[in-house]
Structure 1
Amino acid sequence: MPDDTAEFGFITALPSIFLLAFIFYTKRILEGLTLASLMGFIMAYKLEFFTHANETLIGVLTDGDTQWLFIVCGLMGSIIALIERGGGAAAFGVWVSKRAKTRRSTLLWTWFLGVIIFIDDYLNSLTVGSCMAPITDKHKVSREKLAYIVDSTAAPVCVLIPISTWAVYIASLLEQSGAAAEGEGLKYFMQTIPYNFYGWIALLIVPLVILGVVPVFGPMKKAEERAQNEGILAPPGSEKIDIHAGERFAVPDNPKILNFFLPILFLICSTIYFDVDMQMGVICTIAFTFLLYIPQGIMGPEEFFDAVIAGVKNMLFPLVMVVLAFTFADINEQVGFLSYVIDTAKTIMTPELLPLVLFIVLGITEFIMGLSWGMYAIAIPIAVPLAVAVGADPYVAVGAVCSAGVWGSHICFYSDATILSSAASGCDNYRHAVTQMPYGFLGAFFTAIGFLIVGYM
């Protein structure tokens, strides 16, 4: 890390400003992340930028979180491919079609499925998007709207449930930072759930949009008109990120609905059994699916492992994009962007305004940096003692930080949530982010009002 980051000041924001301008002008995210990262390395390390860029990329790739991401998402791709090859997805489509005969009921089923798969947002997005896309296609639902429903249900429900990977992670941060005693992190987290306003509001807005209470407007309206009037469901460029754009599998005759529900149910239960460990969950589910499908004769061992490999290959492009986003977030940390933002925001933090300021400042920071859980690791150890120091409620402060992470992720072009929801739904991630953004700001508006009210209570 450069020694003179304190001298950068506002200049630390230049790579992020360039990235956002590049994305809005060119609609190209992959190239924008690469160029903005290089700008950050040149700014921080001058002529030695290439060496440090190489070291940072190696560090990102060898980081335990990145390896976890590759294993979990890669094998989730395998599970999805196996369910498709085993006929489970087709059987699920028939099963839902008998119960959801209209466009609106199909979208409500999509939302409901997202709510009940609350263990992990990756599992949620990849499962719901993959399974519901063929069904929503029959009702001419734009892939942008499907991606919005998937994305705006996944993280919000996970951050509100105390037996999710999000809850376990945030609870561990609370214990590591000293905010909660050892073994008390989850109890502390549960007391912050009522104040996670954005999670509640985002989760509520989705069915209101489906039912027409909240109208379809902005870029989403144009996407829906394109889908319904022209029959073009996915925006241009979606095939690059669509995890279903690769190899197609022949579906067996008379597919069984149990070949869908049993692997998904086993994945959820095994994840919970191994202390909410998704990595153990996906590995065990691959083994379980082998034992479930092979005796039925719907595929042989060779076909099984071909499907496993095909599923991993389908996830490569989204994972490459996530790695580039992590690299960009890393160089932003190295130049001190987040520290600069927090230090600047501290000057306006009163007990009454603290929750609102935390939500807005950290949400915008997450939008710019795409840190994902990395923002929580940095902000939670700061937010709790800061709340105590100024006389604010620390539970509300943590709720504001959690809300900021979800909101910023929702409106970010290159957050892991945006990328994986786009990949599963078969929607170009730029178009997904642009169409979801107005609803993200709508949720943020009501969230800000909530934190303002609570701050003055």
Structure 2
Amino acid sequence: MTRTHPPPGDAAAKPVPVVEEAAVGPVEPPAVPAAVAKRLRPSHLLAAVVLLGGLAAGVFVYSQVAPQWREQKTTFNVYQNESGELAYRYSGEELPVGEVVPYDTSPLRAEALADLSGEPPLERQWVVETSVESKAESSGEGDAAGVRYSLLEPGRHYGLWSLLPAAIAVGLCLLTKEPLSALLGSVVVGALMLGRFDITDAVLLPSLASKSAATVLLLYLWLLGGLMGVWSRTGAAQAFAEFMTRRFVRGPRTAKLVAWLLGVLFFQGGTVSVVLVGTIVKPVADRERVSHEELSYIVDSTASPIAAVLAFNAWPVYVQALIFVPGVSFLATEDDRIAFFFKSVPFSFYALLAIAGTFLLSLDYTRFSGRGIRAAMQRARTTGQLDAPGVSPLSSEELAATRVPPGYRPHVLEFFVPFLLLVGVAVGTFVATGSPKVNWAFGAAFLASALTALFKGMSLGALIEGVGDGLKGVVLASVVLMLAVTVGGVSREVGAGVYLVESLGERIPAAALPVALQLITMVIAFSTGTSWGTFAVAFPLAMPLAWQVAGAGDVTNPELFMSICFATVLNGSVFGDQCSPISDTTILSAMTTGCDLMDHVKTQLVPASLAAAIAAALWTATVVLFA
């Protein structure tokens, strides 16, 4: 029999007949799967070799390679609060300093760590130094004599071996296209490097018991999965898709434009934007035959890049605490550093190019999108296949179909009311407290959806079945997310970021420093799967280095030079996080849009790399011409 797809509207394509096989009995399997299987055997064999080599290397590093300990110093503006105690502000919250010792007596200072054998005696320590700067040159918030308060933490690395866990994770992901085993293999390799041979009790359980893992479990498994399950059972998502199709969407282009516009509107960035946009737009995009590779790229590239540009969110408050440089007047106070963040936004060339690139893709202009996305677009438009053959999307069948109970009538308000409640709580709590309460937002939306379904007559049993389907639909992605958190923690412990910054950061002339910082942060974020974690590693090292290079080099406009270096760290971290297969936003983009994780990574990497290369040229030209 023959069926035709509905016309794609503004895609300007005619209905394409799709011939289905007649059910006339057993059919011999075609030769293609056998060929595919033969091609897969070498990659799986190579993956096994890579894993065994990584395990052996991990044991070698533990037994033969001594860690190199490095001082990690972060200088804060410390003040006396109303109680007369020393305090500092971090991420908008006032925190006590505690006991302070002179810097010269600390066992965590660089000189003491250089002579250290074994583990450092402390994990962190507050120290005080008296500088020779005058009051006018000091930060204005410390003592008039130039007293500086810093938090010292020991950082270690194993040289080039520090990149091993991240390399194993990425390599196995590319070879097997199966992120779960790849991440688990990376965790085991990192644990062996650290000498933690009891993998479950010494590595997995502490990581899974952390706040980050608990947040993944609560938000992305229970609340998000429950909400998506309720929407699937009530038909709310399908009702929204039909409403958007009738009123706004006229084909693939307008469906993608809706996704792009929602990504811009949800400028909170990160996982919040990814989850909201992906969940909302997927039913509409699926109906209009938008490939999952296209949609996941749009969702991912209008998350963190938007947050870096429309920074009316938690980013400036978090970042400002990491960029204080003693003696730099325009970074003196918290307000100065937040203002510096916004002044540097015009130099966020990568973020601006990523946003522009997804807008062009939404208009079906694919010259800069790469061959992978063009092939995916062609496949979806001509065959209706939203995924490539033989892939394993992170979303499951439980969320792909609508299972509305007999007699229940879906209404589009069952989608809009919880959605508006979700956005309202997230934005409202950000305005009120300076940090969006995402768990509250999703909890309120889930509760509103469930109560509405019960009020309209759905049985409790049917509702619970829907919640169960939702949990099953996201359980794999949630496990992958929790393992990604563990891999990121292991990579930081073995010193991937510290090694990269130390190896490359201090050997660069002024004209090349911005691109060097971009490359360093791209690799760190790609290796650890986190932009905010990269900020914490790179900014305290990069900003003083940029100021030192500006003073020693032929830089006529130091503030402009610092803004450019700041933007390269910010944007390089966003790029690495966005493209990393172990990043939460990458995984969630694939999960909420129904895309295979590695297909999303491979197709996104091409346009993102092009944008990063153009941004690098723009940063270099700006330094040469104007700084």
**Fold match by TM threshold 0.5:** yes
- Contact map agreement 1:358 1:397 (CA 8 A) in 2: yes
Alignment match, 2:441: 281
- Which residues in structure 2 correspond to 1:379-394 (within 5 Å)? 379-391=538-550, 392=558, 393-394=561-562
Matched, 1:334 2:502: no
- Which residues in structure 2 correspond to 1:2-401 (within 5 Å)? 4-6=66-68, 8-45=158-195, 49-51=196-198, 54-74=201-221, 75-98=223-246, 99-171=248-320, 173-174=322-323, 181-182=333-334, 186-215=338-367, 216-236=369-389, 241-243=394-396, 245-246=398-399, 248-250=402-404, 255-274=410-429, 275=433, 276-295=436-455, 297-301=456-460, 303-391=462-550, 392=558, 393-401=561-569
Moved more, 359-368 or 120-129: 120-129
Deviations 1:191-230 (A, max 9, x none): 3322222211101101212324442532223323332333
Matched, 1:406 2:556: no
Partner amino acid for 2:210? D
C-alpha separation in 2, matches of 1:243 and 1:279: 23
Matched, 1:426 2:594: yes
Consecutive unaligned residues in structure 1, runs of 5 or more: none
C-alpha separation in 2, matches of 1:219 and 1:110: 20
- Contact map agreement 1:162 1:168 (CA 8 A) in 2: no
> By how many angstroms is 1:156 displaced?
1.4
- Contact map agreement 2:513 2:565 (CA 8 A) in 1: yes
Partner amino acid for 2:416? F
* CA 1:290–1:43: 2 relative to 1, 3 Å: closer
- Contact map agreement 2:216 2:481 (CA 8 A) in 1: no
C-alpha separation in 1, matches of 2:200 and 2:566: 33
Moved more, 238-247 or 101-110: 238-247
Deviations 1:416-446 (A, max 9, x none): 1111010011111011111111111111111
C-alpha separation in 2, matches of 1:232 and 1:448: 36
- Contact map agreement 1:5 1:336 (CA 8 A) in 2: no
Partner amino acid for 2:347? Y
> By how many angstroms is 1:343 displaced?
0.5
* CA 1:300–1:380: 2 relative to 1, 3 Å: farther
SS of 1:4 mapped into structure 2: coil
- Contact map agreement 1:180 1:188 (CA 8 A) in 2: no
C-alpha separation in 2, matches of 1:180 and 1:265: 39
* CA 1:37–1:313: 2 relative to 1, 3 Å: same
Aligned length: 453
Higher helix share: 1
C-alpha separation in 2, matches of 1:190 and 1:308: 42
Partner amino acid for 2:249? A
> By how many angstroms is 1:52 displaced?
6.1
C-alpha separation in 2, matches of 1:337 and 1:235: 34
Alignment match, 2:35: none
> By how many angstroms is 1:190 displaced?
2.3
| Bigger radius of gyration among the two | 2
C-alpha separation in 2, matches of 1:126 and 1:331: 26
Alignment match, 2:53: none
SS of 1:453 mapped into structure 2: helix
Consecutive unaligned residues in structure 2, runs of 5 or more: 1-60, 69-156, 551-557
> By how many angstroms is 1:115 displaced?
1.5
Moved more, 320-329 or 165-174: 165-174
SS of 2:309 mapped into structure 1: coil
C-alpha separation in 1, matches of 2:187 and 2:325: 30
* CA 1:96–1:319: 2 relative to 1, 3 Å: same
* CA 1:143–1:183: 2 relative to 1, 3 Å: same
Moved more, 168-177 or 6-15: 168-177
Alignment match, 2:607: 439
Deviations 1:321-363 (A, max 9, x none): 1222222222222222211110011233333322221111111
- Contact map agreement 2:238 2:402 (CA 8 A) in 1: no
- Contact map agreement 2:391 2:596 (CA 8 A) in 1: yes
C-alpha separation in 1, matches of 2:239 and 2:581: 34
C-alpha separation in 2, matches of 1:298 and 1:349: 68
Partner amino acid for 2:66? D
* CA 1:86–1:26: 2 relative to 1, 3 Å: closer
Deviations 1:131-174 (A, max 9, x none): 32232223322211111111111221122223334445434555
> By how many angstroms is 1:95 displaced?
1.9
C-alpha separation in 2, matches of 1:70 and 1:185: 34
Higher strand share: 2
* CA 1:12–1:97: 2 relative to 1, 3 Å: same
Question: What is the root-mean-square deviation of aligned Cα atoms in Å?
Answer: 2.9
Partner amino acid for 1:436? Q
C-alpha separation in 1, matches of 2:337 and 2:449: 34
C-alpha separation in 1, matches of 2:452 and 2:319: 35
- Contact map agreement 1:410 1:417 (CA 8 A) in 2: yes
* CA 1:331–1:121: 2 relative to 1, 3 Å: closer
Partner amino acid for 2:295? L
